[in-house]
Amino acid sequence: MSVAVILYHQTMTRWEPDARGRLALAAMELYVERGFEQATVADIAERAGLTERTFFRHFTDKREVLFSGQDQFLDLFVSAVRSAPEDATPMEAVAAALAAAAADFEPRRAWSQERGRIIAGNAGLQERELIKLAHLSTAVASALRERGIGEPTASLAAQSGIAVFHVGFAEWIDPANTRSFAQIIAEGLAALRVVTSSA
């Protein structure tokens, strides 16, 4: 499946007058065709039929195409933790956040697979991805502390949940996978319970 087809269903039609969407589509096409390092901002803008100046109005750099939406994703996680039932345990609150994330990602599996392949081929992008996960863990721990959870429980629960997400995401985007992200997350949480109960 081509990136054009993937993004056609996920963000925009090919000719819709949406500058950000056109730039994202052009960038993903070029990252797949040429490799991330070889695709320049000038190439992306030209492919989208726009100017470099327009690109920088929407993205800080070409990496941001792959990481845009991070703030909304973090907000989704944190909101789910905050809105978990008052009597929820720390891991139950984290599990609620993981379930919300899985539901949000499910329709975007094809795009996530392309993005995953691009990131896997570039050490700098892999580092950026790990930094993103670290920020997410910090935010989730903070939300748990707002619920009255002390340390180190809040940080341990947050980091455990993000580990489940990270491992589960890799399984979900594997081309051989046929399970939903929600199912993989549930299995990951069950495996975590086994590990901690046997420790």
The b-or-e profile of 162-183 (16+ CB within 10 A means b, else e) is bebbeebbebbbeeeeeeebbe
In terms of domains, do 184 and 134 share one? yes
70 pLDDT band (50/70/90 cuts)? confident
Q: Whole-model pTM?
A: 0.84
Return the axis-axis angle of helices 19-34 and 41-48, rounded to nearest 10°.
120
The two three-digit tokens of residue 21, written as one number: 């969407």
Residue 13, pLDDT score: 40
Please report, for the domain that includes residue 93, its CATH number: 1.10.357.10
Average pLDDT rounded to a whole number, residues 61-86? 93
In terms of domains, do 85 and 153 share one? yes
For residue 41, give the nearest of 31, 29, 28, 55 by alpha carbon: 55
Residue 17, pLDDT score: 56
In terms of domains, do 43 and 139 share one? no
In terms of domains, do 89 and 155 share one? yes
Q: Which domain holds residue 27?
A: 3-65
63 pLDDT band (50/70/90 cuts)? very high
Residue 198, pLDDT score: 63
5 pLDDT band (50/70/90 cuts)? very low
Percent of the chain past pLDDT 90, that is, above it, reads 83
Residue 71, pLDDT score: 87
For residue 106, give the nearest of 23, 177, 32 by alpha carbon: 177
What is the chain's mean pLDDT, rounded?
Answer: 90
Answer yes or no: is pLDDT of 164 > 50: yes
In terms of domains, do 159 and 86 share one? yes
In terms of domains, do 54 and 77 share one? no
Residue 10, pLDDT score: 42
Residue 14, pLDDT score: 42
In terms of domains, do 95 and 118 share one? yes
Average pLDDT rounded to a whole number, residues 44-71? 93
In terms of domains, do 27 and 77 share one? no
Average pLDDT rounded to a whole number, residues 54-69? 92
Residue 166, pLDDT score: 96
- Residue 84 burial class via C-beta count within 10 angstroms: exposed 0-12, middle 13-18, buried 19 and up: buried
In terms of domains, do 49 and 142 share one? no
In terms of domains, do 85 and 58 share one? no
In terms of domains, do 33 and 118 share one? no
Domain count, the chain: 2
In terms of domains, do 110 and 192 share one? yes
